[in-house]
Amino acid sequence: MNLGSISSVAAYSTAQATNEAKGEAGLKVLKQATDLQADLALQLIQSISPGQAADPIGNLGQNVSVRV
């Protein structure tokens, strides 16, 4: 048996396992961030009152300040 090749295989196997664990952790963080953004977007949509969404022209120009 060649101990050099055995240690190389072990090092490669350890590196692969580490890379897979890092990849899984990265995907978990990405999913959590995406879920958080989806929740925040839903809260924003729900915070808009139906009157604002149903009558967009009725409020036109109410919050406009013009200075010359």
User: How confident is the model over 10-28, as pLDDT tens digits?
Assistant: 888 888 999 999 999 999 9
Put simply, whether the predicted model's pTM sits higher than 0.75 gets the answer no
3-class SS letters over the chain = CCHHHHHHHHHHHHHHHHHHHHHHHHHHHHHHHHHHHHHHHHHHHHHCCHHHHHCCCCCCCCCCCCCC
Contact 55, 62 (CB under 8 A): no
**What tens digit of pLDDT does each residue of 24-66 get?**
999 999 999 999 999 999 999 888 876 555 555 666 667 777 7
Contact 59, 52 (CB under 8 A): yes
